[in-house]
Amino acid sequence: MNDIKNYKILIVDDSPTTLSLLCALLSKEQTYSVYQADNAEKAIKIAREIIPDIIISDYYMPGTDGIEFCRQVRNDAEISSSIFILLTAETDISKKINGLEQGIDDYIEKSISAKVLLGKVKAFLKIKTLQNDLIKEKQKLQAANEQLERNVKQLVGVLLKILEIHIPGSSKRADDSRAIAEYIAKELGLDTEKSKIILFAATLHEIGKIGLPEKIAKADLRHLTQKEIEIYRQFPLVGSLILSTITGYKDAAYDVGHLLENYDGSGTPDGLMKEEISIGARILRAINLQEELFMMGHSFQDTIAKIREAIGTLLDPYITTHLINYLSDKKRGAAITSKKISIEELKSGMVLEEDVYSVSGIKILPKGIKLNDRMVEIIKERNIVDPIVGGVAIR
């Protein structure tokens, strides 16, 4: 141990004799600062003030006993990492196991020899030193990660500003894409880390267009020559190269690089199909398609129709259904009187606000129709074999 280290040890016992003996014994070590309390209530206050390395407490005390005292220590963030040793003459194994489950680190019999007690304390202080070192390293790592996140956030802002200069309107699309990706990721039940990567990729999915000639970057895709389209289709790879230089976002770079992969395997750069394509790239493919359709001036209805046509060929059926639900909900807005309900809630007499489609893209019933019992039955039967994702909009 480090000789200049001043370890703090708190002794808690309602017996003045035991307190005196333990304090006298441990105070012989020059590197120990020993504190004492005759009950748990006083001890918890002292512990919060000094943050002890080790607490040695009696088991049976008036008021709060040693087990409950330990529970209080473990539930207090400031002192929860203190080593907790219980002094006891208890021989009941079940009680000892319960104590260990409550956070007791070790039991020491009151009849233990001074030499063994000092040995145990020294051993636990070595453990506490290692524990403290790990906590410090963890704090350093956390601080470094937080700084990295701040740096990445600043970098994203810079990249989006550069892209906005090159392609006006891209910043708005970045915000919209992030919102769509967040919605779809939530609907798919993706975990926090996976969602974070996909949202990052969605925000910067157009960044590779920085490398495109201005004429191609700003042009209506319908007016590009075949050669110009081939150049345009390189933007995901350029974007992937840019993002691959950002620490911690390798998967985001991969997703962006594959955002033109098609669900049926007809896309680029690798001709992947279905689940071979990462979930992030499949989400970006759907986002990018709707983006291009709107940029080409298609109406909302035409865009939705073309997105539906792409189900199973360009786009993942489930992701596309969530995309359409998002776009429809956004267009519908909060002011209108329609609402979404589950298939199980459908009843005869309800009027459909929107066309009802299955996940495979098949139209089951048109909007505006008033449901009867048979129609409700058809919808429910279809939902079993070809799910209707996201519910049904009714007036």
Kindly report the CATH number assigned to the domain that includes residue 94: 3.40.50.2300
- C-alpha neighbours within 13 Å on the C-beta side of residue 321: 21
CA distance 189 to 187: 5
Which residues does 19 contact at the CB level (< 8 Å), separation at least 6?
11, 13, 36, 38
Segment 147-163 shows an average pLDDT of 84
Is 358 within a domain?
Answer: yes
Hey, how many other C-beta atoms are within 10 angstroms of the C-beta on 337? 8
Return the structure tokens found at 213. 């000639």
Task: Supply the pLDDT for residue 393.
Answer: 81
- Range among 124-138, 280-294, 378-392 with highest mean pLDDT value: 280-294
Is the separation of the CB atoms in 380 and 346 below 8 Å? yes
126 and 172 housed in the same domain: no
Range with the poorest average pLDDT among 259-263, 286-290, 356-360, 366-370? 356-360
Segment 15-42 shows an average pLDDT of 92
Is 151 within a domain?
Answer: no
- Range among 200-214, 279-293, 324-338 with highest mean pLDDT value: 279-293
pLDDT at 295 over 90: no
pLDDT at 198 over 70: yes
30 and 175 housed in the same domain: no
54-83 pLDDT per residue, tens: 999 998 888 899 999 999 999 999 999 999
212 and 329 housed in the same domain: yes
Kindly report the CATH number assigned to the domain that includes residue 350: 3.90.105.10
Of all residues in the chain, the percent with pLDDT exceeding 90 is 46
pLDDT at 334 over 60: no
Is 149 within a domain?
Answer: no
**pLDDT band for position 131 (cuts 50, 70, 90):** confident
236 and 341 housed in the same domain: no
320 and 370 housed in the same domain: no
Is 1 within a domain?
Answer: no
**pLDDT band for position 333 (cuts 50, 70, 90):** low
331 and 365 housed in the same domain: no
Is 148 within a domain?
Answer: no
* Three-class DSSP category at 233: coil
Return the structure tokens found at 154. 């600043």
CA distance 161 to 30: 61
CA distance 316 to 311: 6
Segment 368-386 shows an average pLDDT of 88
Measured torsion, CA atoms of residues 326, 330, 336, 339, in degrees rounded to the nearest 10: 10
**Domain edge (last residue) among 138, 155, 175:** 138
Is 145 within a domain?
Answer: no
* Three-class DSSP category at 254: helix
Task: Supply the pLDDT for residue 5.
Answer: 58
314 and 183 housed in the same domain: yes
Is 100 within a domain?
Answer: yes
Segment 301-318 shows an average pLDDT of 92
94 and 200 housed in the same domain: no
pLDDT at 380 over 80: yes
Which phi and psi (to 5°) does residue 241 adopt? -65, -40
Is the full-model pTM beyond 0.75?
no
Task: Supply the pLDDT for residue 3.
Answer: 47
Segment 164-172 shows an average pLDDT of 84
pLDDT at 337 over 60: no
Domain count, the chain: 3
Q: Provide the domain limits for residue 353.
A: 337-395
Task: Supply the pLDDT for residue 335.
Answer: 40
14 and 53 housed in the same domain: yes
Q: First and final CA of the chain: distance in angstroms? A: 75
**pLDDT band for position 172 (cuts 50, 70, 90):** confident
pLDDT at 98 over 50: yes
Kindly report the CATH number assigned to the domain that includes residue 225: 1.10.3210.10
327 and 343 housed in the same domain: no
Average pLDDT score over the chain: 88
121 and 175 housed in the same domain: no
Task: Supply the pLDDT for residue 216.
Answer: 86
238 and 322 housed in the same domain: yes
CA distance 10 to 254: 54
Task: Supply the pLDDT for residue 33.
Answer: 92
Segment 141-162 shows an average pLDDT of 83
Is 159 within a domain?
Answer: no
